[in-house]
Structure 1
Amino acid sequence: MWLAAQAAGAADAPPLTHVVRPGDTLYGLAESYLEDPLLWPELQRANDVPNPRRLEPGSTITIPADLLDRTRGASVVHVSGAVTLVRDGAGQALAVGMRVRDGDVVRTEQSGFATLELLDGSVVRITGDSELQMHRARYMIRSKRADTVLDLGRGRVESSVTPQAPGGSRFRVRTPLMAAGVRGTEFGVSLTAGGAMTADVLDGSVQLLDRDAAARVAPPASGGTLVAAGQGVAVTGAGASAPVPLLPAPDLGAIPELQQRPLIDLSFPAVPGAASYRGFLSRDAQLDFVVANAVFPGPRLRFEGIDDGDYVAVVRAIDANGIEGRPSIRAFRLKARPEPPVTLAPQDGGEVSGGTVTLRWTTGAGAGGYDVQLARDPRFADLLLDRHDAGDGSLETPQLPSGVYYWRVRTYRLDATGQADAGPYGDPRKFSMRREAAPPSAPEQHGDELLFRWDGEPGQRYLLQIGRDPEFTSIVQEIRTGERQATLGGLEGGTYYLRVQATDPDGYVRRFTTPQRFRVLNVVRSGSGQPLNASDGSAVDRP
């Protein structure tokens, strides 16, 4: 792809031709077209001229395109998002390997980004929602002098400028308000939505000049505004403000080094004095290979549609005048694929009964399988189940006691060698297991006492209620106990209703069991008051 783009970039710049006039020399033509008279031997070889001092009037001299490329323009070394190159009124997608020449305009959409490299090694980075025209980009090979003038129509451009040779070298970024001229520095120039120009300097210094002064090859010895490293300035129609210190770099230390969701969400403490923040995701800390960029209103950056890999986040605070501050850098790894499936059942926060539960989730094309974990805690330190290759979207758990549980699932795919490449686990899902309590068994009556027994689970506590009606509007007795049985006495003969309510060890209060009806015997007693027993040992019931 790079070779194809390189070929396309070369093909769109045909060689120049010059019709020889009386008095023309290769020395003079090299100076006129290549701005370096010492390149005349290159023209001699390209045109097979036998005598460079005698050019025949009316003959044609060709200036090769590759020779022109060596002396002017800039190479496109990186593009992300939607970026357009406009040349002679026609637009085309900007691609790596193309050359941007005098008069060309580069336009980036909201999240677009382009990195250009000039012939002297300087690097120009065009951020999202910007427009930059290459007014002039020339380089004299033998004298190592550069002459670069960039016109910023909107947005922002950042430059790392190679130290310029004295004696005519220049690097200018012009705006409708003013121009920034440098000899070698790291700086940025912005046009704000309000129409102001700002400049911020990280290294070296920048001299702000009016556009007329910027048109000259050498900057004036005095005049304009000098902006030193660590300073910024805002320019409006009323002129340039005094330089101010750049806002400090944001603190990105709390951003996790591993990001596991396709939506990258990076939060950090606010910077005092910041009105907004510019954020970049880049393959490198120098921001030559930015994959996403945007301005955010608060200390929280969000990007999506980014491939898994290693990145750096670079963030600058922007003050109320639009001056961008010092950058902060945080390296991280994005591993969000294959994405976890969507869980289906049980419902998050739901309640299930029966002792076992079937965990269900969606399945996707290309998945090699799924890993499922079940635990007693949301950090999955107390694992009850850790299943690899969990089947096709469902898994039945073993018998579980009542309590609160957490489960999660992740997708894995098989690489070319058959190894499993697992993605991140999805968010933990919580459910409560509440096994149905069995109603108490029929009470056993021994004289005046009744013994009740019921099933339960370890750690539960119980409330036993006796009522005269199934709605328990009239409660005769109740008892609280940690045992699974209770003995009651003092009930007169007649019909009653019984129910039990369990409280689990985690404090969850269960529903009452279904009311059970039972009968208390009217026991026949002897003269001494003792119950009379039948031959089988049971109490004698008075009709």
Structure 2
Amino acid sequence: MSPERSAAASSRALACCLLLAALPAVAADFAYEIRAGDNPWNLTQRYLKDLSYWPRIQQYNRIAEPRRLQPGARLLIPEQWLRLQTREVRIDAVHGEVALTGADGQHRPARVGDLLTPGMRLATGEVGSAALAFADGSRVQLRPRSELGVQQSADFAAGAGSWVRLELLRGAVDSLVAPRSGPAGRFEIQTPAAVAAVRGTRFRVHADGDAARNETLEGRVAFGNAAGEQSVTAGQGSSARTGVAATPPRALLPPPALPALFADRLPINRPFPPLDGATAYRVQIAGDVSFDTVLIDAFGPAAAVRTADLPDGAYRVRVRGVDGDGFGGLDAEAVLTVDARPEPPVLVEPGPDARVSDAQPALRWSRARADERWRLQIASDATFSGPLVDRDDLSEPSFRPDAPLPPGTWFWRIASRNPDEGVGPFSDAQSFRRPPPGPAMEAPQSGPDGLTLRWRDAGPGLSYQIQIARTPDFAAPEVDARTDSPSWLMKDAQPGVWHLRVRSFAPDGFEGDWAPTQAVTVPEPAPAFRPWWLLPLLWLI
């Protein structure tokens, strides 16, 4: 071949390649990637219904040089021309509200084991989710508030692979696509704004009106529309709008740091470290490692795993950060163990931080069922490292210590058990304070400046309150004063009976008990000497 003819042939082949690559695929077209040795005749023989279709392929794709198809270019084939064997899609998991719409438009609740054929749709409610299983091992998980239709699920002839085409009308799906076998294998998720097509990968697709978003977790996704397509690799995301080309790939947020979680309280609130760049977080809780059945799917600004209620058991938690443009980052997963039942009772008495003068105080709590039993602990520290009382045989919701509790701060907690649920967690510790007794009064001492009152020193850092009154009820005390010294000078005390009492105050203001009331009698003063008292003696002289 002459150089001129060779150059012309190369130009025609290049033109054919560019033309094929520029043709947009419509919803019912299959986009076949040309391989070396392909031509309209052998492609028709392998994949189409009969040989009469080869001229149509050439005309449909505007092929000028049918013997010079460029490897890597796309060849569009209308779906109705293909020789396909339909493969059913099976519903593998259902949770919450999930509705199935048949090809005839009839609605009914979806059930595990239902088979979906082209034209059928699934819709999930606020807390609904579903998992679809495909013949090649691929799985698609439909998230809450989503709607997904099956457009195609079939095998090509001659072992060329399978073609799955789904339509995400709204919401989100997580997809784990098995590597495509055969040269024609393809897995597509269409949205109103863009198409995500893969040959084997793990990715997410979101659809919201005229906008769509793709987040690739493994492998590579071809994402775009007729206005432009992007190749989105692992750890990247892209978005598109109807009629607007897909955005260049951008990096997704890294996974958050998520430790193993344990919850013995309801509601559950377990924070995790905030992620730089995240404006919100998606938290999913599932009963299985594959997350086919998502029990909780929460979205919000808090870096925390939160839920009002979960039965006791082991769960999987999946968390990802979401950036300001709505792209979800890479996932972090952890085990969540819930052991919160039977729930502990309500601690009734003493109340939180109560002041309890009784040295053997009565403790009371609530009862939930007749066959309930309790374990009680009382300790001088909130960690209960060495409880003074540890009783696990209580059958009544009350208890009084056998021995007096010394003054100080005490903590108590209760755990319930019953025949159905076993032993539950302890309640939150609740504290009460036993005040110190009032300091003992010493004998008053009379002096030239007045009556000195003394009492026993209660300890360093403590202050005192003294009251002095005419009546034992101290309704109107003559003296009501605070002092840092364990003594008081009673000046110019009027004769008669005085009632005294003293109590101590801790540095934090916590008051002790009053000491027993003491009564002090101030005598009448001796009469002063008068000279005329000697006048009666004059009569005796």
State the TM-score, normalized to the length of structure 1: 0.71
- Are 1:375 and 2:376 counterparts? no
Q: Secondary structure at the match of 1:301?
A: strand
- Are 1:295 and 2:311 counterparts? no
Q: Report the residue type matching 1:355 in the other structure.
A: A
- 1:134-213 correspondence runs (5 A): 134-139=150-155, 143=159, 145-192=161-208, 195-210=210-225
CA distance in 1, matches of 2:130, 2:291: 10
Q: CA deviation at 1:331?
A: 1.7
Q: Report the residue type matching 1:480 in the other structure.
A: S
CA distance in 2, matches of 1:178, 1:93: 29
- Are 1:250 and 2:250 counterparts? no
Moved over 6 A (4+): 444-460, 475-479, 486-493
Other-structure match for 2:79: none
Q: CA deviation at 1:464?
A: 6.7
CA distance in 2, matches of 1:227, 1:464: 78
Superposed CA deviations along residues 446-496 of structure 1, whole A, max 9, x for unmatched, are 999989787998999563747576544457997724xxxx79798767334
Q: CA deviation at 1:304?
A: 3.1
CA distance in 2, matches of 1:319, 1:506: 47
Other-structure match for 1:387: 391
Superposed CA deviations along residues 228-273 of structure 1, whole A, max 9, x for unmatched, are 11110011233311110011111223xx631112322232233233
**Worse overlay, 298-307 or 130-139:** 298-307
Choose which of 277, 280, 299 in structure 2 pairs with 1:276. 280
- 1:422-461 correspondence runs (5 A): 422-434=423-435, 437=438, 443=443
Q: Secondary structure at the match of 1:338?
A: coil
- 1:92-491 correspondence runs (5 A): 92-139=108-155, 143=159, 145-192=161-208, 195-210=210-225, 224-237=229-242, 238-253=244-259, 257-365=261-369, 367-398=371-402, 399-414=404-419, 421-434=422-435, 437=438, 443=443, 463=464, 465=466, 467=468, 471-474=476-479, 480-481=485-486
Other-structure match for 2:44: none
Q: CA deviation at 1:312?
A: 2.0
* Preserved CA contact (<8 Å) 1:71 1:119: no
Q: Secondary structure at the match of 2:279?
A: strand
Q: Report the residue type matching 1:180 in the other structure.
A: A
Superposed CA deviations along residues 176-228 of structure 1, whole A, max 9, x for unmatched, are 01111000000000024x742000101111112437x9xxxxxxxxx722111
Q: CA deviation at 1:383?
A: 1.1
Q: CA deviation at 1:102?
A: 1.8
CA-atom RMSD in angstroms: 3.7
CA distance in 2, matches of 1:198, 1:342: 48
CA distance in 2, matches of 1:197, 1:477: 74
* Preserved CA contact (<8 Å) 2:223 2:238: no
Q: Secondary structure at the match of 1:191?
A: strand
Quick one: structure 1 residues 467 and 102, their matched pair in 2 at CA, closer, same or farther if it must change by over 3 Å?
same
Unaligned runs of 5+ in 2: 1-47, 50-84, 530-541
Q: CA deviation at 1:289?
A: 3.9
Choose which of 486, 496, 500 in structure 2 pairs with 1:498. 500
CA distance in 1, matches of 2:370, 2:247: 59
Q: CA deviation at 1:167?
A: 2.7
Quick one: structure 1 residues 478 and 292, their matched pair in 2 at CA, closer, same or farther if it must change by over 3 Å?
closer
Quick one: structure 1 residues 259 and 467, their matched pair in 2 at CA, closer, same or farther if it must change by over 3 Å?
closer
Q: Report the residue type matching 1:408 in the other structure.
A: R
CA distance in 2, matches of 1:462, 1:167: 91
Quick one: structure 1 residues 461 and 180, their matched pair in 2 at CA, closer, same or farther if it must change by over 3 Å?
closer
Other-structure match for 2:532: none
Superposed CA deviations along residues 322-372 of structure 1, whole A, max 9, x for unmatched, are 221111112221111111122222222222222122222221237541111
CA distance in 2, matches of 1:141, 1:205: 26
Q: CA deviation at 1:401?
A: 2.2
* Preserved CA contact (<8 Å) 2:435 2:513: no
Q: Report the residue type matching 1:377 in the other structure.
A: D
Q: Report the residue type matching 1:310 in the other structure.
A: A
Quick one: structure 1 residues 142 and 387, their matched pair in 2 at CA, closer, same or farther if it must change by over 3 Å?
farther
CA distance in 2, matches of 1:349, 1:508: 11
Q: Report the residue type matching 2:327 in the other structure.
A: I
Q: Secondary structure at the match of 2:159?
A: coil
CA distance in 1, matches of 2:216, 2:341: 39
* Preserved CA contact (<8 Å) 1:285 1:314: no
Q: Report the residue type matching 1:350 in the other structure.
A: A
Percent of aligned positions with the same letter in both sequences?
29
Q: Secondary structure at the match of 2:375?
A: strand
Other-structure match for 2:88: 73
* Preserved CA contact (<8 Å) 1:355 1:435: no
* Preserved CA contact (<8 Å) 1:248 1:325: yes
CA distance in 2, matches of 1:461, 1:476: 14
* Preserved CA contact (<8 Å) 1:403 1:504: no
CA distance in 2, matches of 1:71, 1:338: 51
State the TM-score, normalized to the length of structure 2: 0.71
Quick one: structure 1 residues 428 and 136, their matched pair in 2 at CA, closer, same or farther if it must change by over 3 Å?
same
Report the number of matched residues: 438
Quick one: structure 1 residues 167 and 475, their matched pair in 2 at CA, closer, same or farther if it must change by over 3 Å?
closer
* Preserved CA contact (<8 Å) 1:459 1:505: no
Please tell me whether Structure 1 or Structure 2 has the larger radius of gyration of its CA atoms.
2
* Preserved CA contact (<8 Å) 2:203 2:214: yes
